[in-house]
Homo-oligomer: A and B are copies of this chain.
Amino acid sequence: MEFLTNEKLTIIGAGGMIGSNMAQTVAMMGLTPNICLQDVYAPGLEGVAEEMYHCGFEGMNITYTTDMKEALTGAKYIISSGGAARKAGMTREDLLKGNALVAQQLGKDIKEYCPDCKHVVIIFNPADITGLITLLYSGLKPSQVNTLAGLDSTRLQSALAKHFGVPQSSVTGARTYGGHGEQMAVFASTAKIDGTPLTDLIGTDALTNEQWAEMKQNVIQGGANIIQLRGRSSFQSPSYVSVEMTRAAMGGAPFRWPAGTYVSTGGFDHIMMAMEVDITKDGCSYKDVQGTEAEMAELQKSYEHLCAMRDEVIGMGVIPPVSEWAALNPNLK
C-alpha cells in the first residue's frame, strides 16, 4: 500500500460516529500509515481501534490513547470532531461555551505538544467559532487551520442535481460561503447546471423563484433532514469531506469545496468563515468571494452573525478581545 506521507495524523473524538468513520476513511484513502486515535471515552475508543484492526488494512500502524499529550506528540496533522456532547437541559449558550472551552484546550494542547504540526481540521460545532478559538490558542498560522464548511455546498450540489435530473457531477460551482445554518450565504452566480449558468435558470419554469427559495431553505436544513430520516446526526459526509481537506493538506488531490478559513481581507477580519480556498502542502490560501450585490449582502449578514457569535465567546471570557489577539498568537495581525 502506498501512502501520501508517513507523518502522524491524530484523530480527536475517534470514538464517535464521525471520528470512527474518519479513521476508516483515512486508512482507505492511504493518507498515512501512522494514525493515532484519541477520545476521552476509553471503551468506545478501543472498540473503534479494534474495528480498524479487524479491517486488516495492510501496512497500517493505528494506535489509540485517551491521553492528549500522547495523542498529539509528534502529530503533523490533526482532525478533531471531539466536541462536547449536548446534554439534556443545556441551552444553546451552554453548548457554545462548552465547545468553546474544548477548542481553547485543544489550541493550548497543540501549542504545548505539537507546535510543529502542519495542518488542523476542526469539525465540532459551531466549527467556525471552535476553529477560530483553536487557531488563537495554538499559535499556528491562519493557513494551518481549516474548518468543515463544504457540506453546505455538497448539499446544494445534490439538491440542484435532483431538481434538474442531472448527474451530481454535472452541477459545478455549487457554493455557500460565510457561516452555516440559518446564516449561510447560498450563492447562485457561481453555479452551472451542465454548463448553463444557474442564474439563467432561476426565475424561469425550469426553476421558479419559489422553488429556488425552497431549495435554499432545504440546503440550510440539510443536517436536520438527515436526523429526521436516519434518527441520528449526519456522520458519513462530515467525516469524508473533512478527510478530503487533510488529503489536500498532505499534497494529495485538490480540495473541491469551500472551507472555513481565517479571513482578514475584503472587508472581513478577525473571523473564520467558509471561503473559496486552495489547500496544499503549503497550507490554505483563499480568494475573496465574488458574487452579485444581493449575494455579497447575504455574505455580509453572515459575517456579522459570526462576529456576534465571536463577541459572545469574548463576552464569556473564553477568548480575549480582538485587540489582544496578536499578543496571544503573533500570526494574527
Contacts and interface: CB of A to CB of B under 8 A. Distances in A.
Interface of A: 20-21, 24-25, 28-29, 43-44, 46-48, 50-61, 150-151, 153-155, 157-158, 161, 167-169, 222, 225-226, 228-231, 234-237, 240-241, 256-257
A242 to B, nearest CB: 11
A60 B168 CA distance: 8
- Stoichiometry, as copies per complex, reads 2
B154 A44 contact: no
A266 to B, nearest CB: 26
Contact of A226 (B25, B28, B51, B154): B51
B53 A236 contact: no
A20 B232 CA distance: 13
Nearest to A56: B154
* Interface hub of A44, A237, A256 (most chain B Cβ within 10 A): A237
Given A51-B235, A55-B240, 18 more contacts: A43-B228, A47-B231, A48-B230, A50-B225, A50-B229, A52-B236, A52-B237, A54-B151, A54-B158, A54-B234, A54-B237, A54-B241, A56-B150, A56-B158, A56-B256, A58-B169, A60-B168, A60-B169
Contacts of A225: 47, 50
22 contacts: A21-B21, A25-B28, A44-B229, A44-B231, A50-B158, A50-B222, A50-B225, A50-B229, A51-B236, A53-B158, A54-B222, A54-B241, A55-B236, A55-B237, A55-B241, A56-B153, A56-B157, A56-B241, A58-B169, A59-B167, A60-B168, A60-B169
**Which of A21, A56, A151, A169 has the most chain B CB within a 10 Å cutoff?**
A56
Contact of A53 (B46, B51, B154, B235): B154
Contacts of A59: 167, 169
Contact of A236 (B20, B60, B222, B257): B20
Contacts of A237: 51-52, 54-56
A53 B158 CA distance: 6
Interchain residue pairs A-B with the least CB separation, the first 9: A47-B229, A47-B230, A54-B237, A53-B158, A56-B154, A51-B236, A55-B240, A43-B229, A54-B154
B230 A44 contact: yes
Best-surrounded residue of A44, A51, A60 (most CB of chain B within 10 A): A51
